[in-house]
Amino acid sequence: MAVLEIVKFPDPGLRLKAKPVQTFDKSLQKLIDDMFETLRAAPGVGLAAPQIGQSLRLVVVEYADEEKEDAKPKTYVLINPEIIKTSKETVMATEACLSLPNLAGNVERHESITVKAKNRYGQPMKITVKGWLARIFQHEIDHLNGVLYIDRATNMYELTDEEMAEIKD
- Tell which residue, 152, 123, 120, has the closest CA to residue 135: 152
Of 89, 140, 158, 162, which is the active-site residue? 140
108 is catalytic: no
What are the residues facing 115 on neighbouring strands? Answer: 83, 127
- Between the alpha carbon of residue 113 and those of residues 1, 27, 129, the distances in Å are 31, 30, 6
CA distance 169 to 166: 10
What are the residues facing 94 on neighbouring strands? Answer: 106
**HEC string of 73-93?**
CEEEEEEEEEEEEECCCEEEE
Q: 26: Cβ–Cβ under 8 A, 6 or more apart, which residues?
A: none
- Tell which residue, 57, 43, 58, has the closest CA to residue 6: 43
Q: Catalytic positions, please?
A: 140
